[in-house]
A and B are shown apart, each in its own frame.
Chain A
Amino acid sequence: MTPLRLALADLGFDRLRTMLSIAGMASVIVCAMLLGAMAAALSDFLAVPSTGSNLIILDGNYVDPSDSTLPDEVMRAAEALGPQLVSRVSPLFFRQLRVNDRLVQVRAAPLADWAGAQHLSLQSGRWPNIGNEVVIGEGLADSAGWNLGSVLIIYGRPMTVTGTFRSPGVAFAAVYMPLESARDLFGPDRLTQIVTVQVALGADGETVSARLAADPEIAGRFVVFYEDTYTRRNTELLRDLLNLMYVGSGLALLAVGMGAYMASALHLAERPRESALLRLSGFSVAQVSAYLLLRTEMLAAGAFCIGVPLASAWMSALYADGPAYVFNVPIRLTADPNRVAIFAALTALSAFAGALVSTAGLLRASVAQGLRS
């Protein structure tokens, strides 16, 4: 009888115990899969492409940039550094507004700066014309269910969605309109909350940053950041959460190994005589170990076969009424085949390790000891 047949017969004999072991491991696998999917979704969101040495200037006294206003002198101070140091200075209008009953970031910048200074790339439709047209981030399109042609009521005015864009950072969930449209909608005052400074090719970002920070129009009231640094600072909490999810997912997989260890150790503790009998019948320690390892691997495989569809169904159910939100970031949870394959390998590995540790004692115990148990 091969170790495989023995393992099958054993698991089939004590069905209740087998089902309980599988259910226990499956619940942990579901946790690992969900945490892994959330971590992957957050990781995708946080994989912000570098904006190089772009600088931003904001009012250092406010937590939310939408509460502040940057005077024209700030822009002029940046422009005054000259084309050797600064290739573009772009104002950004920034408000948190209720749009069609959702709290949304509305941004506005000169159309000419969208692809460059603002890092927007069109995903569908077209860029808007000045007037009553806007584009929306693909994250917002996903979460709000808004499409091309949707009409958004912004600040009391209906505006049509002409396209969707992709962008690093949190702008993916924003509405963008041309600065001229914003001026028409909100009035000419308080239109600049952030100034983006594109450092000229070949210029040193540190030098530009230091010059800006020392400028009398800026020093003391406004702060200069590398745009990357600012984005990272804004997403720090999400990164912490991402790390927690990775740790949680890893711990869950470790728990699969522990579950395998417990299942195998419990089996050996409760039924040591059976292993001893196999050795007595001529099975080697390696054959008995193989039987116990296969038995544990089959439990883990059963748990995986139940856990993965269960986790997938759960993710689908979560996504049926829209995406899951983590700190207002819409998270699309998917059972990515590559991730499932990695989880399968890790589950098998952790179960193997767990069973190996528990069966190692077999090599030390004599057959007689097993029979006396």
Chain B
Amino acid sequence: MDTPPVPRPLVDVVPLVRAEGLSRHYTRGSEIVDALADITLDIPRGAFAVVLGPSGCGKSTLLHLLGGIERPSQGAVTVDGVSLERASEAELTRFRRRSVGFIFQFYNLLPFISADENVALPLLAVGQARADALRAARAILDQMGLGARRGHRPAELSGGEQQRVAIARAIITRPPLILADEPTGDLDAAGAEAVVSMLRDLARDGQHTIVMATHNQRLVQASDQVIRLSSGRREPR
């Protein structure tokens, strides 16, 4: 039986996310492109942080580095006690299983399995029994009002429904950090509002820290912390 969430203080002594001098360069032919340069930030547990900036400013790259799906060229990033820049592939896999959930603009669901199987993937990846994993997935989908759509494949769902499935997948293992990359970018106003509200609630219950990348200034109002990026650099507050 689920216990009610315990409210947590917004500012911890040790932040959940800490980045120092974080940089990421890409090589394009003979040219070196600075996607991200010298980013330093702390994000406390339970925060709803917004990474704000125009397209191409490095928001997605920053989220990739915080999520351990890309390695920094320079600098250090520690999330939930794991130093990602030094972690091996096996350690990064463990980190992704335990500490982070991802939500994307275009949902990124596997097209060949059903909604509930998509949601159950993170549990199945760690070896949980299929029946148990699906039961847990269906419970979350029910909470999100998608109980009747759980057997549908992604192509049979609307954009808003797919995004809710993606959110369910991101939170099913109760990771402390949820990274959302333009999660409302492909949704209409009502859908976008619902998703932001859902993410805000997740942060509010104290179990999740949300870092949401967006170029939408209006979403700043819902946040606890704003990280502004411009041309790969952090702008002063």
Contact = CB atoms under 8 A, between A and B. Distances in A.
Contacts of A6: 113
Interface string A357-373: 00000010011110100
A285 B121 contact: no
Contacts of A2: 124, 130
Contacts of A12: 112
A279 interface: yes
B102 A280 contact: yes
Given A6-B113, A278-B121, A367-B70, A285 B89 contact: yes
Contacts, number: 75
A202 interface: no
B112 A277 contact: no
B176 interface: no
B122 interface: yes
Contacts of B110: 274, 277-278
Given A366-B71, A371-B69, A282 B112 contact: no
Interface residues of A, number: 28
A257 B118 CA distance: 32
Interface string A268-293: 00000110111111111101000000
B112 A281 contact: no
A369 B26 CA distance: 12
B96 A279 contact: yes
Contact of A282 (B96, B108, B153): B96
A1 interface: yes
Nearest to A369: B70
B138 interface: no
Contact of B69 (A1, A9, A363, A366): A366
Nearest to A281: B121
Contacts of B125: 278, 281-284, 287
B108 A1 contact: no
A282 B117 contact: no
A13 to B, nearest CB: 3
A282 B113 contact: no
A273 B69 contact: no
A204 interface: no
A282 B126 contact: yes
Interface string A1-30: 110011001101110000000000000000
Interface in B102-152: 102, 104, 108-113, 117, 120-122, 124-126, 130, 133
Residue of A279, A280, A363, A368 most packed against chain B (CB within 10 A):
A280
Residue of B70, B96, B110 most packed against chain A (CB within 10 A):
B110
B108 to A, nearest CB: 5
A285 B112 contact: no
A1 B121 contact: yes
A363 B89 CA distance: 9
Contacts of A13: 111-112, 153
B215 interface: no
B93 A285 contact: yes
Given A1-B113, A2-B124, A282-B97, 9 more contacts: A1-B120, A1-B130, A9-B117, A279-B96, A281-B169, A287-B125, A368-B70, A369-B70, A371-B69
In the A-B complex, the 8 residue pairs with the closest CB atoms: A13-B112, A282-B125, A367-B69, A282-B97, A368-B70, A281-B121, A1-B124, A368-B64
12 contacts: A1-B124, A1-B133, A9-B112, A279-B96, A281-B121, A281-B125, A282-B96, A285-B93, A366-B69, A366-B71, A368-B64, A371-B69
